[in-house]
Structure 1
């Protein structure tokens, strides 16, 4: 046992391994165990649990890549995942996103935006936008929604997102709908945001983008509480509509039952 190692505390040992990969940290800890014995057992248990969690997450991620892997095996190069946020709210736009991820990407925690917290979505938004080959959003406002209906407005937003991409996709993976106006091979996947990493990435980009827009609207129309409910039909929101009437970003076709 060296004099240096005699002076290392458990906290110091953890500081040494915290920037390492999980496997690297475990290898280092087992090396320390030869000199420290049971003193490092708690850290070994901690990192063995981390390894199991990582392996479970990697398997989940690989399961969500099955549509992408199938397409790559058929010679497809660029896959765009497409999803939207904001079909159900009483106010604000519908926002769609198109995201092309690199073939061998791994993004820890990537999932359907509805299964994630706001903090998780914000973190993943940064990682997706950093790692993506290309991404774009399409925004269709409440006036067009009232004119076209929400399904057709959603399709327009998706088309805008796809057509804005700086890299032309060879295949579109779309959550639930089909975009007949786009002459690009495509596959509509029910609940695709839980089954495809590309669609899941698009769901996060669309959701975070729309939430940020509604937070901006909250400062303009503070009486409606948009920052809290993002335009959805909560009890608080409906009561505000009944009290103050609708504002310019409300969807008339969605709110007519709440106004006199």
Structure 2
């Protein structure tokens, strides 16, 4: 261990000093550029998981004043920040992970892998990586998990905006193709409106079948379709065909 007089002064970061303080402190200690990483769609049962990494220019605090967690911003403000970030950021990368990959890997594993891919997709390797909430290894660079990172660190907030706006745009496009689910309204999250659409129409190819509500809806829909086939063949009375009767009939969820 180095003698006390040879050790560098401890870097003190005060949360009250603003969301650019952590990035600025790391830069001052020669650990830049600093990449923030965040995702959108982790809890949704339909649509992709989107992960973004972003490196902001140290002097852009004034230009991006008010930047924070994308969920705390209105859609119009998010879109404006997305425009500013994509125009002025030093570097950024966005990774879109389709539902089938989320199902195959699991949400958490897909998220971690997406974060690594997003950082690897930057034009140049960062000196340091900040993640939102939980620690992630495998960046090939020092990394720090920051509680409420998208409210504390501007580069993480920027990544959250990039991920959220990208994903919302995808869900609006899916809504045009699959209007019965209302994706433009709820963006694939498990709202009562979405649950009602799942019960009525069953899940689509854009749903995540590893989620219990989706797999349950798929099982019910399959039971109803089997019953409808029996009705068509004259082996079952029509009044027996409904989602409720499928559940009562012992469909395993």
**TM-based fold match above 0.5:** yes
Match of 1:67 in 2: 22
Match of 1:245 in 2: 202
Match of 1:146 in 2: 103
3-state DSSP of counterpart to 1:252: coil
Assess if the C-alpha contact under 8 Å between 2:137 and 2:143 holds in 1: no
Match of 1:79 in 2: 34
Assess if the C-alpha contact under 8 Å between 1:61 and 1:110 holds in 2: no
Q: Does 1:170 align with 2:127?
A: yes
Change (3 A) 1:61 1:122: farther
Deviation at 1:256, TM superposition (A): 2.0
Deviation at 1:181, TM superposition (A): 2.1
CA distance in 2, matches of 1:180, 1:64: 23
Deviation at 1:227, TM superposition (A): 0.7
Match of 2:232 in 1: none
> Greater helix share, 1 or 2?
1
Match of 2:188 in 1: 231
CA distance in 2, matches of 1:245, 1:77: 48
RMSD: 1.4
Match of 1:31 in 2: none
What are the ranges of 5 or more consecutive residues in structure 1 without an aligned counterpart?
1-59
Matches within 5 A, 1:248-259: 248-254=205-211, 255-259=214-218
3-state DSSP of counterpart to 1:90: coil
TM-score (norm. length: structure 1): 0.74
TM-score (norm. length: structure 2): 0.76
What are the ranges of 5 or more consecutive residues in structure 2 without an aligned counterpart?
1-14, 221-253
Deviation at 1:201, TM superposition (A): 0.5
Deviation at 1:67, TM superposition (A): 1.2
CA distance in 2, matches of 1:119, 1:186: 32
Match of 1:116 in 2: 73
CA distance in 2, matches of 1:245, 1:147: 20
Match of 2:147 in 1: 190
CA distance in 2, matches of 1:245, 1:235: 14
Q: Runs (4+) of structure 1 moved beyond 4 Å? A: none
CA distance in 1, matches of 2:65, 2:16: 8
